[in-house]
Structure 1
């Protein structure tokens, strides 16, 4: 426990600069006498901690002192920051860097911890490639050279020139000001602005990319989570969305709601079935969502959707009606 406390003490001084013994004691939940003994132990171990006298005095580390995990390069350190999601590292082209960084982390562990850590890794599996129904997760293919160029422009704050293939359109070159990178359900996105307007680009549709030397026009700080929520809300509110009235078995509710953009109205019929008004991205999205529920759901409106589902069912029945 003392070793953990000594590390915490060093990290506190690195983060906050000069701190008094009283403040350190409060942060570490120990007495000031214990803090003074820990300071002496750090000094004896060669950590350059020194005391400043006076009213505003305290303890501090010599400028420039830092503890490092030897050998980590830029991409490996970045991979560890996004390692909370393996898909995040993969989507941003950092899969190999993550593997390399983790090898160095294991190598840096004390001998007594190394075997325990290796054994623990064998007992945990996060985000396997298939689920219990053997459905394979579909990961988008993004050329490493493309995502590396995008990544460099985002972190350097430079403008980015991309060749982008929008759905149903001929690929075009455009120059954007990159804001940040987002990964959602195995899919990577570039948040940017173009001529001052917000733009969101799917990484798998960027065919080529070139980091430019010109600085990007963007704010110094960005709340990426909030920016993504705002763009998602605008996306759901626009386009060719369709509203559908559905009557369905409540046991399948989550499957429908999980694919819909929004649920506007929800009621329960006398027989226990649900009646919902939900919105979908477009007509194809609505037809797909209702078809996969089979007889556990019925689209009550609009009529074109009922007709589309009936025609599809009739075509399937005709195909399998012959021996």
Structure 2
């Protein structure tokens, strides 16, 4: 079996460009004992992949040069030399950016038939959903009456955070860029106030107006996907003892100079704010409760799965670049088969 893969050819400086990557056709070898052959049907792209393109120490190793990149994927078992997997099984892995692969059985997760579409395991039922769930309920310790502010609110994680907060009965202020995303947040997800950051000269003033519009005095929870000026605004409008769940800072990933914001970090002390960065890989103990809730909410029609889909491995880089221009509504996916 042949596979088209996307290799990292050189490490980007600033915003990645197509020349940093290469499409390579590979032929899969015969399966070894304990291996499984999978044809991917879907892959997802994440802003955090930008960090792995740098040769820097982090919670996960950087991408190797002249080798396929990695990322969330779901596919179907084609052949197996491991007793735990059989042809036709649906599996998820971290082996995206390729159409097919051989891998040890330990690299795969068998996904049960619970009535979800396969790509749901890359969205609300996968690590994306767990990130939203754990970040809001555990890291930010959501409690009754909290006002929740979400940046990057129309993205894969942010849109789920908004929905969980609304399901739990909270007032939600959501920030995103552009009229299409603002309409989605208000009309589809039903958030209480929206901020189009692309139309605002001062995010702090915009957040202050949104807080006032919903009859609040400030925000109690900030779920951060953006950093920079969004974090500065959240600090300014935080109530005493607010909790900040720092999930991502996409505004900083391609910055080549020292960040200039936020400039008001002393407010962490003044307002007794608790700020905690987190990654979903450290929250896996929540997965059983998370899956039970997400599947139940989805079946009850309380959860909207929003996806932006690109067709084919040839458009995987278009999907990735689109994350940084704000082209995605919900989870950014590539349909491979």
When normalised by structure 2's length, the TM-score is 0.28
- Comparing both structures, which one devotes a greater share of its residues to helix? 1
Which one has the largest radius of gyration?
A: 1
Structure scoring higher RCO (CA < 8 A, sep ≥ 6) equals: 2
